[in-house]
């Protein structure tokens, strides 16, 4: 094994690549070659490091020097000063305080996180299975196949307290048990990687930065429930994630970790990728199954539930990427390790995409039960420009607004529900005093109107009516009684829609009315937008409307 003096880990996640990371890497390789350092410096392309606001990023080991906002012209100075002379280039580092330049583990954004799902992202080369194995990869699968029965595996997941990270928080162990107990000559394991929330990229970053953890988690699930075939349903907008996952699948097959008689056992498991056309509704599990089957991506009535009658009418286990990514750690380190993180009823960690009006945006992983205040101020660095925190929308377009008065409330499934919000897949948008809550509610409702599949009337027509009322309010044509109409419509849509998309679509509107009713009243009664966002002008006839749904969710298959 070759030993290098310096290891330069360059973020090759989607965000850093889009910021010019590939150009910096090319320049760095050129400078290393120019100075004859190929035998001393190893460049490693990693997945997302998390602090997307600071990209392109690079961490130089063994000391852990963190460089940010890198451009091709910076490569020459880093090589000549740091790699050759051992002098850090301070102006390219993350400055914590005047005169102090912290290493990666000293930056609060990184130091205050607890990483399970993202444990390898930004640390290993996602396209090298040997690096994953070196970080205890596939030890959970080996333990399951060599030391445990399928019933033992299900029991271990139950004891861990893991709940589904796709949004609803259903107990993972119970879902596995129901699928394992279901009768059927064929069973399936399906991963929901159809991450469609605006601004959310948690699952994508796992697929790009640590694809083997998903493969291992799904293989363990297949063994536990008695399935020999798995599918990863991923949206076409994630080409890099699909590319790396496909490469990882081929590597796992070659290493005997996928396919027939895995690790010499009697267990066989095949895995395929299905690429969706980008319909948001296909994030709903039954619509996703219909899309895999080649049908229009529309929700099905439940029951029956997928655990007993899912893909092709067979018992099917469905979890999202983040849920599966927890499984290898639970199996290798034990349920007690996982159960010690988080709080009663909400064990483990949750990954959030932290965006909006916060100093450091990016991907974070924190224990469940942490407060919004800790995330925004301790990890995110607070609100920039000396402005005041107003609220945060958690859970994406189906989520709800958390006002400043609730900053100290623990973030867990139950507390969020009482506030009119949901955990969702993990989108977290921070808003300062310059944000208008009517405009925010209108934006997210416009998204759900356009993404409705149109199958059920409450979602198809009800959300459009809510949008039209919000549009009038934001244009200065709000009427007395509009707030009450929004509340009434929202509750009917929640109670009568067929699937989770419609049932949660009114959440941003209802929660913003609950906490910022005075802002709605100012728009209607005073024809004023307190935040100065809405123009308060008349609606024009050529105003663009959100498109209707009923988009066919066709798929492609990668074998």
**Confidence check: pLDDT of 551 > 60:** no
Flag whether the pTM goes above 0.85: yes
256 φψ region: left (φ > 0), alpha (ψ -120 to 50), beta (else):
left
Q: Model confidence over 131-190: pLDDT tens digits?
A: 999 999 999 999 999 999 999 999 999 999 999 998 778 999 999 999 999 999 999 999
379: tokens are 């990890």
pLDDT at 160: 97
Work out the average pLDDT over 17-21: 93
pLDDT at 558: 59
**Confidence check: pLDDT of 279 > 60:** yes
pLDDT classification of 95: cutoffs 50, 70, 90: confident
Chain centroid to CA 523? 34
**Confidence check: pLDDT of 434 > 80:** yes
Alpha carbon distance 461, 533 (integer Å): 27
Alpha carbon distance 264, 253 (integer Å): 13
pLDDT at 329: 98
pLDDT classification of 221: cutoffs 50, 70, 90: very high
**Confidence check: pLDDT of 126 > 70:** yes
132: tokens are 């994953």
Chosen CATH of 6-107 out of 3.40.50.920, 3.40.30.10, 1.10.150.120, 3.40.50.150: 3.40.30.10
pLDDT classification of 501: cutoffs 50, 70, 90: confident
pLDDT classification of 94: cutoffs 50, 70, 90: confident
Alpha carbon distance 369, 482 (integer Å): 36
Q: Which CATH fold topology does 349-370+386-431 show?
A: Ubiquitin-like (UB roll) (3.10.20)
pLDDT at 277: 85
**Confidence check: pLDDT of 362 > 70:** yes
Q: Which CATH fold topology does 437-526 show?
A: de novo design (two linked rop proteins) (1.20.1440)
Q: What residues are paired with 65 via a beta bridge?
A: 60, 103
CA angle 368–369–370, rounded 5-degree value? 95
- Which one is predicted more confidently, 547 or 555? 555
Q: Model confidence over 405-424: pLDDT tens digits?
A: 999 989 999 999 999 988 88
Q: How far is CA 91 from CA 70, 212, 235, 385, in A?
A: 11, 36, 39, 22
Across the chain, what does the average pLDDT equal?
A: 92
Q: How many helices (H) and strands (E) does the chain have?
A: 23, 16
* Beta strand spans in 357-460 (E): 362-367, 389-394, 400-403, 427-432
**Confidence check: pLDDT of 440 > 50:** yes
Q: Which position has the token pair 């989108």?
A: 427
Work out the average pLDDT over 108-134: 96
pLDDT at 354: 95
529: tokens are 């937008």
Q: Model confidence over 289-345: pLDDT tens digits?
A: 999 999 999 999 899 999 999 999 999 999 999 999 999 999 999 999 999 999 999
Q: Model confidence over 224-264: pLDDT tens digits?
A: 999 999 999 999 999 999 999 999 999 999 999 999 999 99
**Confidence check: pLDDT of 468 > 60:** yes
**Confidence check: pLDDT of 97 > 80:** no
* Beta strand spans in 55-94 (E): 58-61, 65-67
pLDDT classification of 556: cutoffs 50, 70, 90: low
Q: Which CATH fold topology does 129-340 show?
A: Rossmann fold (3.40.50)
Q: Domain ranges for the chain, please list them.
A: 6-107, 129-340, 349-370+386-431, 437-526
Q: Model confidence over 470-489: pLDDT tens digits?
A: 999 999 999 999 999 999 99
pLDDT at 176: 98
**Confidence check: pLDDT of 27 > 50:** yes
């Amino acid at each position: 094994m070759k030993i290098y003096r310096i290891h330069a880990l360059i973020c090759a996640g989607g965000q850093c690549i889009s910021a010019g990371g590939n150009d910096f890497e090319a320049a760095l390789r050129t400078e290393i070659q120019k100075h004859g350092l190929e035998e001393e410096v190893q460049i490693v392309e990693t997945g997302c490091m998390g602090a997307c606001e600071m990209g392109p990023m690079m961490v130089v080991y063994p000391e852990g020097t963190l460089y940010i906002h890198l451009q091709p012209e910076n490569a020459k100075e880093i090589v000549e000063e740091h790699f050759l002379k051992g002098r850090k280039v301070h102006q390219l580092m993350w400055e914590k305080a005047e005169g102090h330049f912290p290493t990666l583990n000293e930056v609060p954004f990184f130091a205050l996180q607890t990483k399970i799902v993202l444990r390898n992202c930004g640390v290993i080369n996602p396209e090298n299975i040997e690096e994953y194995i070196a970080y205890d990869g596939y030890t959970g699968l080996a333990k399951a196949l060599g030391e445990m029965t399928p019933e033992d595996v299900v029991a271990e997941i139950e004891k861990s307290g893991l709940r589904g990270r796709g949004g609803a928080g259903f107990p993972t162990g119970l879902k596995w048990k129901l699928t394992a107990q279901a009768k059927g000559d064929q069973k399936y394991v399906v991963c929901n990687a159809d991450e469609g929330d605006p601004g959310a990229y948690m699952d994508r970053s796992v697929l790009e930065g640590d694809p083997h953890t998903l493969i291992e988690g799904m293989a363990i699930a297949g063994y536990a429930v008695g399935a020999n075939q798995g599918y990863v349903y991923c949206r076409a907008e994630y080409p890099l994630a699909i590319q790396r996952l496909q490469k990882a699948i081929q590597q796992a097959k070659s290493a005997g970790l996928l396919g027939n008689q895995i690790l010499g056992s009697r267990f066989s498991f095949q895995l395929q990728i299905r690429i969706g056309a980008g319909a948001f509704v296909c994030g709903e599990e039954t619509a996703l199954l219909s899309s895999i089957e080649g049908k229009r991506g529309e929700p099905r009535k439940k029951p029956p539930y997928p655990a007993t009658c899912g893909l092709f009418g067979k018992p099917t286990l469905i979890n999202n990427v983040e849920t599966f990514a927890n499984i290898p750690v639970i199996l290798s380190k034990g349920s007690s390790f996982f159960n010690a993180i988080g709080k009663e009823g909400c064990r483990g960690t949750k990954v959030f995409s932290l965006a909006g009006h916060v100093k450091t945006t990016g991907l974070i992983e924190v224990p469940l039960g942490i407060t919004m205040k800790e995330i925004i101020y301790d990890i995110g660095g607070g609100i920039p420009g000396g402005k005041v925190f107003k609220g945060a929308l958690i859970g994406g377009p189906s989520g709800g607004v958390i006002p400043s008065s609730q900053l100290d409330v623990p973030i867990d499934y139950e507390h969020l529900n009482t506030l009119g919000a949901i955990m969702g897949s993990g989108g977290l948008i921070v808003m300062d005093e310059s944000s208008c809550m009517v405009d925010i509610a209108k934006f997210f409702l416009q998204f759900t109107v356009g993404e409705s599949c149109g199958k059920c009337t409450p979602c198809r027509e009800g959300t459009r009516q809510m949008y039209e009322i919000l549009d009038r309010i934001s244009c200065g044509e709000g009427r007395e009684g509009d707030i009450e109409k929004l509340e009434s419509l929202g509750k009917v849509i929640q109670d009568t829609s067929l699937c989770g998309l419609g049932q949660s679509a009114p959440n941003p509107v209802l929660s913003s009315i609950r906490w910022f009713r005075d802002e709605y009243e100012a728009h209607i009664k005073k024809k004023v937008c307190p935040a100065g966002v809405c123009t308060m002008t008349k609606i024009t006839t050529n105003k663009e409307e959100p498109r209707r749904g009923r988009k066919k969710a066709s798929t492609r298959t990668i074998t």
